[in-house]
Structure 1
């Protein structure tokens, strides 16, 4: 049985070497987390959700507004007093 590296008494960080792996990192002050957010985010969201999927929410929104407008006008007409009922009042 081959003895493992852990049995040879090495610490956990020195268990083995990896060849052919390269790691790159930027310092915290060199990163630009918000780069292009304010000038590209609106355009990207508009293209992905509004331009491509407009038929999912524009017709229901228009129909809901028309129903709302009709109901508001019908309610106002139903609650309006008839002036002919009060023509003979003194």
Structure 2
């Protein structure tokens, strides 16, 4: 089996020829970068709203636990004034 220099110099995606495989390429200048962008905004809002009741409660509970734990930690770090009443 002979491998020619031209075959070795091709790009990675062009090394093998597969029968029955059809590929299409579109120029970057022909693509629309923001096609359907305005249409996707209401869909995004709907998807966020439909999942809000499943996602928000765990985050709210986690936030509540975090803030209460931080308050308790800072309260326990303070000195108790009653321990120093008789000190001079």
Q: TM-score, normalised by structure 1?
A: 0.54
Query: 2:31 maps to what in 1?
Result: 31
**Which aligned segments of 4 or more residues in structure 1 are displaced greater than 6 angstroms?**
none
Residues paired across the two proteins, number:
64
Question: Once the 2 structures are TM-superposed, how far is the Cα of residue 46 of structure 1 from its aligned partner?
Answer: 2.4
Instruction: Within 5 Å, give how 1:64-75 maps onto structure 2.
Output: 64-75=62-73
Question: Once the 2 structures are TM-superposed, how far is the Cα of residue 64 of structure 1 from its aligned partner?
Answer: 0.6
What is the RMSD of the two structures over their aligned residues, measured on CA atoms? Answer: 2.5
The structure, 1 or 2, with the larger RCO (C-alpha pairs under 8 Å, 6+ apart) is 1
Cα distance between partner residues in 1 of 2:51 and 2:28: 38
Q: 1:24-71 CA deviation, whole Å, 9 max, x = no partner?
A: x9754232132343x4545432221x1111111101111111111110
- Which one has the largest radius of gyration? 1
